Chains A and B, each alone.
Chain A
Amino acid sequence: MSIETTHSHDESHDDHHDHAPSGFLDRWLFTTNHKDIGTLYLVFSLLMFFIGGSMAMIIRAELFMPGLQLVEPDFFNQMTTMHALIMVFGAVMPAWVGFANWMIPMMIGAPDMALPRMNNWSFWILPFAFTMLLSTLFMDSGGPAAGWTLYPPLSLQGGQSFAFVVFAVHMMGISSIMGSINVIATILNMRAPGMTLLKMPLFVWTWLITAFLLIAVMPVLAGAVTMLLTDHFFGTSFFNAAGGGDPVMFQHIFWFFGHPEVYIMILPAFGVVSEIIPTFARKPLFGYTAMVYATASIAFLSFIVWAHHMFTVGMPLTGELFFMYATMLIAVPTGVKVFNWVSTMWRGSMTFETPMLFAIGFVVLFTIGGLSGLMLAIAAVDLQYHDTYFVVAHFHYVLVPGAVFALMAGTYYWLPKWTGHMYSEKWGKIHFWVSTISVNILFFPQHYLGLAGMPRRIPDYSTQFADFNMISSIGGFIFGASQLIFVGVIVHCVYKSRKAATAQVWEGARGLEWTLSSPPPYHSFNTPPPINASTVAHADEAH
């Protein structure tokens, strides 16, 4: 079908201008446009990615050798705490909201997000929240140092920074809830006629479920940190056994939030990978409906597995058993997904452009993280693994070559659509290979360190851990430096690249976003596009 006819502009509407406003403040500060807000989210998260990443560099530099060389132990703890808070709430989550903003309206045939003004607010809370969070590093007490999990009683001893962290978390929560409400309202209310739920691209599906998870658990985190605040300043006894409370209760509440939270970071990654693999395998996604149900199952299970983070803190035996078996169940829907991705590639006409490389890297390396997760799910052996570097290796495998690789895959996949230019395939591939090799040098040895008994969140270690730590740190420095290539490729694509992108960009790409020009018009679809076999991304008639 012709690309030009799909976005016919309705000239009668004064409020639908086709071009971005010219003034800088009008364009970025007051914007109600889903693409501009998406760009703001993505640029913000990239900035946070580097701030959080530089903290990781400090951590790895201190761990390069045994003994204390660079930083004080308390500052080391501030670095691990802030690194996690920034990467979780400042880098990965806003990046996914950025993708949601850019892609969901284009993928379902809508002009914009359902609530465009609130969309602006959900973003513009974040820079303030993170300014407040980062400012704690310059306070007399230093930043928070009790870990991102903020367990009491340690977190209650945090000095001046404590209250600022609590209120910063409140602001991030408000931002996330508003963003998620917008995503749900957009998906449920803004689909073009004919775009039934089971015709939606999988990225849209995964975000619908992610948004539900966010609305369900962010208020619980808000409640948890509020109780920390009142325990610290207003004399309540929620986490104080002398008053009848229980510090372990905080862990239950935190992880009731925290476990869905890890799926909040990975479900949109599943969506992106499910978009990319069919494109470059030139085959329809294998088991589309199964993928939808698997995502929903994972989301459901995420609510009943939280205490596997707490096997060692004291829990009745029945609790240990329940949470162990429920956790292992998650391997079933996740296995369905990995099977379907591999089956999609099976006998496909595959090409290996950068997005596909990152997607395949995701499938392989995320699976490693998933399998180490299964090991950790076994309560009996978790007693040995708990709070060791094995856990660090596990969750970094699912978050870095998992969620972050999917973010990079999605960036390379849609960057030509967003900018109208092709990025440098050569440098994209260099970025992929350097990242993939270095990320494994960085995190794989940490499995061995953990199994040998090295604890996490400690700036110094016994000399038998020296070699693997040095290898890990070298991998870390290479991985950190290689991300500068990523920035270089993006900047080049946006400002310098002369190679224009076609509307479809990729030969095998399917779905509504590819029917729009590259770059797409300012308001994606002013009139609903026709939904038919050629515009649906995955449903059977698409191929």
Chain B
Amino acid sequence: MAHHADDSYYVPHGTKWPIIGSLGMITLMASAAFWVNGSVTAPWTFLVGAMILIYMMFGWFGEVIRESEAGMYNAQVDTSFRMGMMWFIFSEVMFFACFFGVLFYVRNFSVPWLGGEGTGAFTNEILWQGYDAVWPTGGPAEVGGPFQTIPAFGIPFLNTLILLTSGFTVTMAHHALKKDQRGKLVTWLLATVILGFVFVYYQAYEYIHAYQDLGLTLGSGIYGSTFFMLTGFHGMHVTLGAIMLLVIAIRCMRGHFSPKHHFGFEAVAWYWHFVDVVWLGLFIFVYVY
């Protein structure tokens, strides 16, 4: 195979990874469906599906990394990758927008209506008499029992500082990479990874506290639903982002990337900034207000 990055666009030969990914995905998804329906074997097949997907990611990314390091991608291919990542992040933005939309809708419309506001007067009078709509709420039937909320200026504020700091450290790593200072690059990157995992640790600590001491669960009416769905999906994204940063850190230690060519690094940095920004929205609208 000729390894060169000239003006020709790199169109790869056939690849087995997508079909392996599809097999992993259907195993995972079908198992998840059987699992929620009460199957006892499904958790194991779910695990098998996850393993296949992880194997696919190692194989697929590995192949792309080898081709990239061999210099087979020209500037146009690089732009395709950038656009792919940008639009993927846009799709993630819309996914979170859906849940933020839910939060705004219930707080501005459906909960006040249940409390008798506007056209909801009869709903309140006939169905939920005496329900006083104040946020946070478990709903008129107080689904899930009484609960307390987590104050914004405790762990959540600490986590805000942690994530903002991690945004700073990943930018420092980028500057180091551009100046080709490997030692600094790896140090700043590992600092970012550690901050990411510390965030996840505190988030887990907060969840345990909520479940054990505050009575706040996923079943605590609409407050619990929106709280855990928003922070939970965000926490999953932070975890994923931290793993991605770790992979990039390992690649940096192995000497991958150059001051000019490091799209993999930048993609993960973008992703990290994205979860950072989502957290700011969460901190303001879920915790503070």
Chain A residues packing against B (C-beta within 8 Å)? 10, 12-16, 21, 26, 29-32, 110-112, 114-118, 120-121, 124-125, 128-129, 131-132, 160, 163-164, 166-168, 170-171, 174, 177, 180-182, 184-186, 188-190, 215-220, 222-224, 227, 229-230, 232-238, 240-246, 248-249, 252-253, 256, 314, 316, 523, 526
Per the bound structure, the CA–CA distance linking A18 and B31 in Å amounts to: 41
Which of B1, B80, B84, B139 touches A243 (beta carbons < 8 Å)? Answer: B139
Chain B residues in 8 Å Cβ range of A238: 102, 222, 225-226, 229
Chain A residues in 8 Å Cβ range of B90: 215-216
A227, B102: Cβ atoms under 8 Å? yes
In this complex, the member of B2, B36, B99 whose beta carbon has the largest number of chain A beta carbons within 10 angstroms is B36
Distance in angstroms from A309 CB to nearest chain B CB is: 16
Q: Is B97 an interface residue (CB 8 A)?
A: yes
A242, B140: Cβ atoms under 8 Å? yes
Per the bound structure, the CA–CA distance linking A249 and B219 in Å amounts to: 18
Q: Is B169 an interface residue (CB 8 A)?
A: no
A32, B12: Cβ atoms under 8 Å? yes
Chain B residues in 8 Å Cβ range of A220: 94-95, 97-98
B87, A215: Cβ atoms under 8 Å? yes
A-binding segment of B16-24, B178-186, B280-288: B16-24
A32, B144: Cβ atoms under 8 Å? no
Which of A116, A219, A244 touches B140 (beta carbons < 8 Å)? Answer: A244
Chain B residues in 8 Å Cβ range of A229: 36
Given contacts A111-B9, A234-B218, whether A189 and B80 have CB atoms under 8 Å apart is: yes
Which of B10, B81, B140 touches A15 (beta carbons < 8 Å)? Answer: B10
A116, B12: Cβ atoms under 8 Å? yes
Given contacts A32-B15, A170-B29, whether A227 and B94 have CB atoms under 8 Å apart is: no
Interface size on B, residues (CB 8 A): 73
Chain A residues in 8 Å Cβ range of B223: 244
B224, A128: Cβ atoms under 8 Å? no
A-binding segment of B107-115, B149-157, B237-245, B249-257: B107-115
In this complex, the member of B17, B22, B81 whose beta carbon has the largest number of chain A beta carbons within 10 angstroms is B22
Further contacts, 13 of them, CB under 8 A, given A13-B2, A224-B98, A244-B114:
A14-B1, A114-B84, A117-B12, A120-B15, A163-B32, A164-B30, A186-B80, A215-B90, A220-B95, A244-B221, A244-B222, A248-B110, A316-B119
Q: Which residue of A lies closest to B21 (CB)?
A: A121
5 contacts between A and B (CB under 8 A): A16-B11, A111-B11, A181-B87, A181-B91, A190-B9
B18, A163: Cβ atoms under 8 Å? no
Per the bound structure, the CA–CA distance linking A180 and B84 in Å amounts to: 10
Which of B12, B14, B127 touches A26 (beta carbons < 8 Å)? Answer: B14
Per the bound structure, the CA–CA distance linking A131 and B21 in Å amounts to: 16
Chain B residues in 8 Å Cβ range of A117: 12, 15, 17-18, 60
B11, A116: Cβ atoms under 8 Å? yes
Per the bound structure, the CA–CA distance linking A16 and B225 in Å amounts to: 52
Chain B residues in 8 Å Cβ range of A12: 2
Given contacts A15-B12, A222-B95, whether A237 and B222 have CB atoms under 8 Å apart is: yes
A121, B22: Cβ atoms under 8 Å? yes
> What 9 A-B pairs are tightest by C-beta distance, nearest first?
A244-B139, A223-B98, A30-B14, A244-B222, A235-B219, A121-B18, A246-B110, A243-B143, A243-B139
Q: Is B13 an interface residue (CB 8 A)?
A: yes
Per the bound structure, the CA–CA distance linking A244 and B97 in Å amounts to: 20
Per the bound structure, the CA–CA distance linking A279 and B121 in Å amounts to: 61
A244, B18: Cβ atoms under 8 Å? no
Given contacts A160-B37, A230-B218, whether A243 and B15 have CB atoms under 8 Å apart is: no
Chain A residues in 8 Å Cβ range of B8: 10, 13, 16, 111, 526
Chain A residues in 8 Å Cβ range of B44: none
Chain A residues in 8 Å Cβ range of B99: 223
Given contacts A15-B10, A244-B223, whether A223 and B29 have CB atoms under 8 Å apart is: no
Distance in angstroms from A518 CB to nearest chain B CB is: 22
Chain B residues in 8 Å Cβ range of A170: 29
Q: Which residue of B lies closest to A120 (CB)?
A: B18
Given contacts A163-B37, A223-B99, A244-B111, whether A118 and B84 have CB atoms under 8 Å apart is: yes
Q: Is B191 an interface residue (CB 8 A)?
A: no
B2, A243: Cβ atoms under 8 Å? no
B83, A230: Cβ atoms under 8 Å? no
Q: Is B196 an interface residue (CB 8 A)?
A: no
Q: Mark B130-159, 1 if CB is under 8 A from A, else 0.
A: 000000011111011000000000000000
